[in-house]
Structure 1
Amino acid sequence: MTSPDPTLPAALRRWSRLRRARFPVLAGGALVLLLALAGAQFMEPSEPEPVGGPPMMRRLTEAQYRAIIADIFGPQVPVTGRFEKAVRVGGMIAIGTGSAGISPFAIEQYDASAQGIAAAVMSPSRRNRYLTCGPSDVRRFDQPCATQFLNQNGRLLFRRALTPAETNKYVGLARRATGQLGNFHRGLELSLYTMLIAPDFLFRIEHAKPGLDGRPGELDAYSRASRIAFFLTGSTPDDALLRAAEQGELDRPGGVERQAERLMATPRYEQAVRSFFADMMQFDRFGDLSKDPAIYPAFNSDLAEDAQEQTLRTVVEHLVTKRGDYRDLFTTRDTFLTRSLGVVYRTPVPQRGEWVPATFAPSAHRAGIQSQVAFLSLHSHPGRTSPTLRGYAVRQIFLCQDVPDPPATVNFTAIEASAHRPNVTARDRIFQHATDASCAGCHKVMDPLGLTLENYDGLGTFRQRENGALIDTSGSLDGTDFDTTDGLANALHDHPETPRCVAERMYKAAVGRDITWNERYYLDWLIGRFAADDYRIPDLMRRIVTSAEFFATTRPVMPGTLVRADARTIAGDRL
């Protein structure tokens, strides 16, 4: 018996074996016809026709700002300004950047950061790293050198080549500053500072080409490069990607694919994955997290940093290094630990100050990232757990399901008063949620999830009793009942909204907005391909960045939607 063709889809190979066993006399021509008809069912569905959305103006996030400065000038250049609290829309800061303006406080901080960066770059100990030319007399202005320096760095900061008018403006500013300050390097410093407070740097301003014959438009080459870079690296386009935009490579077949493969093979891709999941899991909130030191003496800022890093290392190892199934993040027992985390997990870590790989035993009750300290401590109160907060977080973060905020008249006194009474558990305290009609509607979808996580205290340490009483961890998720944290892990793994949520969030974060009504067909196709690719995140990201929909546009940005800081006025104050 001949073996089935290994190039056939698995389902067809199985059918072929079955056919030979049950229909040995089937004519060869009929077999070819049947295989052709069956093969049509297994052809990969093509991407829907692009419909697009509006080009965006997106304010840089703090992580992107810092990454850009490190990529262009090096990690040794400090960013001294403070960043105001980010706007979160649809569960993601990356989506909120499309609607965030600039407050007076933010302008002051951008100004402080720009001054510090420009001064560091042009300092006597550093400027030779960035400046390969200059006048013999520092009091004289060297126009060719200034033009070279400002064009080179402006191209990276603005993510496009400077226009002739912009070159003249920044070179002219450096000339005037050199004359007034008597120092060529101080002149370049002021001009660089002015670039760093320009809207073209602080905002990712997209430009589009109109479509023909009623078809959607598409982003221009530089805007394409910017979307690709921030999605796949979390930072500004590098020189190679900008050259690809300038030379038209991104408009030719295979051009985007080649750049995507190149960027995904660099360490910067790993950083982009980390940034996405840190945003999705709301790790920015750790800056405001506090714990009662009398109840949780192990908690401090170092532990908070280690907790975040543990989850991100787990994510990257599983999704990028091992190219694992995204859903397995909720059941994996493999992770990384430090000694301080080992105290919370009650797992000895011999090396001080080092990360070590670890695999939790089944008896440790640590399956999935939702059982790790970062998630558990972030979604708890300073002095106790909160089944409601944890259940809400599971719904919102991992399943993209909105739950209404509580009414303003809610009275938390009874819950607070009984928090540490003997033989009282969280299930007893929140009994009112199930009996009060104004509470029950929302709490019935949150509390059953959070109550299963009550085996972990407000820091994330495993426990079996609270206030002396045995904890009942029975719960349910959309019709699936369980009574252990492992049961919750399996329910999250198998829930159909789990992969749909991350795919939807990833696309929205990539384009910086909610989907348009007509994009729902594209999203359905994308989620279907995610499943066909065994839920691998790198494949999902590659499909997004190489799809026509990623660059399609509908209408230009309306004038007046960008709050501009007048860079020339601010710069003039420094002269």
Structure 2
Amino acid sequence: MTRSRALPWLLMLAFAACYSAPERAPADDAPSPLPARVWRLSNHELAGVARALAPDVAVTLPSEPNVDGYDNQDEALVVTGPKLDALVELADAVAPALARGFVCAASEPRERCISVFAERLALRLYGRWLSTDERSRFALLDVSTQAAASAPFDGPRVVANAMFPSPHTLYRTELGPEVAPPSPDAVDPSTSLVRLEPHELASAISFLFTGARPTAELLAAAERGELDGSRGRERAARDLLATADGRREVERLVRAWLGVADLSELYKLPEAHPAFSMALRDDMDRELSRFIDATIHGGDGTLRALFATPRAFPTAILGAVYGADLLAPPDAAAGTPTDPTFRRGIVSLAGFLAVHATADATNPVDRGLVVRARMLCDDFAAPPIAAQMLTVDPLDAAKTTREKFEVHGKDPACAGCHAAIDAAGFGLEGYDSIGRRREREHGRPVDTSGELIGTDVAGPFRGAGELGQKLAESNDVRRCFARQVYRFASGRREARSADVRDLAEGLAAGRATDALVRYVARDSFVWRRPQP
């Protein structure tokens, strides 16, 4: 790669550093605007931009760390050397597809033709119209290319190649011009704020609900001022939620929240689970998608439905895992009712249980942690060194998994956190590491008694059926989901208590997606705080 092509990136990175420094959000009495920033697109968003323009081009980007399961947290999204190289390579692959078939009419001035090409491409890559200066620069780039071109499409290809890896493609801005707020009712009048530009507002809504740049229609609506008011933003949000992209983004939120974002690397040891296969893994993955779609977008769409619906979507292969827990023949399309005693809600699905287990055994700590840390938003400090030294012998066939892990409760270095974590995980010991129900392990009876400690639904439970019912009735779970919506939507981990409280109020009797709609409808959504 020619390093001169990286110079604009270096300038943009320095620029970004001034606006995206992580900060701990203070506790406020009312929802507060986010800081002004430039926000790098995640791998998912970059892939969406590329595929929207060139569906047949393979997108391979270096993996990036998730923050609490989310891939769009702004402080984690940096540009490394390998990332920049991969983007330039992707541009080289995408550019020919973008320029293919582009022909300027003989009667049309070449400069105007190239400007139209660049303008249309900018809408998909930058999420905005080009400035006059930008149009002129791309037209000049075409002129210089034509002097040495071997084919008439070389100019558009070079223009596309220059536009795709641009910082304007890689980042979205939330800077806006600095203006005074319109009224003290919307935000704190003593604070200097910036209002998002129309194209920034359209991008903020579009990326949240589709994972992609805004359409020309949404951008035009923003420019007409139709997104300035809360009702206009709410209408746009609900329209996008009804699309396939909108449903997919909601699924991504739920999967990230519950730690089941990716099953592609799920593996089980053949000697422990000879029935496990890639086909079974893929069926588990598809079932999770169907269940989330059916409960969140179908019926009443509440969190209660997500955690309490006694239904699965198994193929014949996956149906063998559920066995007698299915009350009808497997039906992956319409779904199959399940015995609510053992199978109720997403925590009872084989895919969820298999992910939160090891390759050959259950893992009550992992299962308990996903309940406590993800579903209830408990914060646990990293275990002390003494606790990390504590090991469990997986080959000890004289004890059940529960008996092995009960050592946590006997060690003072572990007991503080593990009292709550393990108690939740032990209640799911009636399901093996591929989610199949079991009553015995190593010939010994499995104790499936669990407990939720210190929550609004505190008390004992047995199995996923009773756990799902408790989670469905929990206001703590609703508040936790509101916190997750904030993290997903804002790209920031630390949420103000007022933001969480405001989003949770929208969940009290409504659909889970109402929290997302409420997020964009709030006055604070259109404002940003300049950073020093």
> Is residue 2:519 matched to residue 1:541?
no
Which residue among 142, 158, 175 is the counterpart of 1:207? 175
Q: Does 1:154 align with 2:122?
A: yes
Q: 1:554 aligns with which of 526, 529, 532?
A: 529
CA distance in structure 1 between the partners assigned to 2:277 and 2:88 by the alignment = 32
Structure 1 residue 513 displacement after superposition = 1.4
Distance 1:159 1:416 in 2: 53
- Decide whether the 8 Å contact of 1:177 with 1:187 is kept in 2: yes
| SS of residue in 1 equivalent to 2:263 | helix
Distance 2:230 2:302 in 1: 30
Alpha-carbon distance between aligned partners in 1 of 2:147 and 2:261, rounded to the nearest angstrom: 45
Asked if 1:280 is matched to 2:261, the reply is no
1: CA distance, partners of 2:79 / 2:279: 31
Q: Is the 8 A contact 1:141 1:184 kept in 2?
A: no
Instruction: In structure 1, list runs of 5 or more residues that go unmatched.
Output: 1-46, 559-575
> Does the alignment pair 1:250 with 2:227?
yes
Give the Å deviation of 1:238.
0.9
Which has more radius of gyration? 1
Q: What's the secondary structure of 1:299's corresponding residue? A: coil
Report the more deviating stretch, 226-235 or 434-443.
Answer: 226-235
* 1:326-337 correspondence to structure 2 within 5 Å: 326-337=303-314
> Structure 1's 277 and 414: CA in aligned 2 closer, same or farther, altered over 3 A?
closer
2:415 is equivalent to residue 440 of structure 1: yes
Structure 2 letter corresponding to 1:483 = R
Question: What do you get for the CA RMSD once the two structures are aligned?
Answer: 2.7
Give the superposition deviation at 1:412: 5.1
Match of 1:295 in 2: 272
Partner of 1:508: 487
Whether the aligned pair in 2 keeps the contact of 1:177 and 1:190 (CA below 8 Å) is yes
Distance 2:419 2:229 in 1: 53
Query: 1:90: Cα distance to partner?
Result: 4.2
SS class of match (1:318): helix
Identity of aligned residues (%): 27
What's the counterpart of residue 365 of structure 2? 388
Which one of the candidate residues 138, 142, 159 is aligned to 1:170? 138
Q: In 1, are the aligned partners of 2:230 and 2:521 still within 8 Å (CA)?
A: no
* Alignment TM-score, normalising by the size of structure 1: 0.79
Tell me what 1:190 maps to.
Answer: 158
C-alpha separation in 2, matches of 1:463 and 1:262: 45
State the shift of 1:385 in Å.
Answer: 1.0
1:85 corresponds to which of 63, 67, 73: 63
Matches within 5 A, 1:363-512: 365-409=342-386, 410-411=388-389, 413-418=391-396, 421-422=397-398, 424-478=399-453, 479-512=458-491
Residue of structure 2 in register with 1:134 after alignment: 104
| Shift, 1:408, TM fit | 4.1
Secondary structure, aligned partner of 1:134: coil
Which secondary structure does the structure 1 equivalent of 2:65 belong to? coil
| AA in 1 matched with 2:123 | R
Match 1:220 to one of 191, 197, 207: 197
**Alpha carbons 1:456, 1:462 under 8 Å: kept:** yes
> Structure 1 residues 334 and 56, CA, compared in 2 at 3 Å: closer, same or farther?
farther
Q: Aligned equivalents of 2:500 and 2:30: distance in 1? A: 12
Deviation sequence 1:502-558 (CA, Å, 0-9, x none): 111112211221456xx4224323312321xx14123222211111122221114x7
Q: Tell me how far apart the structure 2 counterparts of residues 477 and 319 of structure 1 sit (CA, whole Å).
A: 25
**SS in structure 1 at match of 2:39:** strand
Determine the structure 1 residue equivalent to 2:497.
520
Alpha-carbon deviation of 1:406? 2.9
* Partners of 1:508 and 1:515 within 8 A in 2: yes
Q: Partners of 2:132 and 2:434 in 1: how far apart?
A: 57
CA distance in 1, matches of 2:369, 2:30: 36
Q: Is the 8 A contact 2:429 2:446 kept in 1?
A: yes
* Equivalent residue, structure 1, for 2:19: none
What is the match of residue 45 of structure 2?
64
User: What's the offset of the Cα at 1:413?
Assistant: 4.5
Q: If the length of structure 2 is used for normalisation, what is the TM-score?
A: 0.85
Q: Does 1:120 align with 2:97?
A: yes
Q: Is the 8 A contact 2:177 2:197 kept in 1?
A: yes
Deviation at 1:427, TM superposition (A): 1.6
Q: Specify the code of the residue in structure 2 equivalent to 1:230.
A: F
Note if contact 1:142-1:184 (Cα within 8 Å) is conserved in structure 2.
no
Residues 333 and 351 from structure 1, CA distance in 2 versus in 1: closer, same or farther, beyond 3 angstroms?
closer
Give 1:219 shift: 1.7
Q: Shift in Å at residue 55 of structure 1?
A: 2.4
The secondary structure found in structure 1 opposite 2:336 is strand
The secondary structure found in structure 2 opposite 1:217 is strand
Task: Quote the Cα distance in structure 2 between the aligned partners of 1:295 and 1:522.
Answer: 46
> How far apart are residue 169 of structure 1 and its match?
2.5
1:19 is matched with none
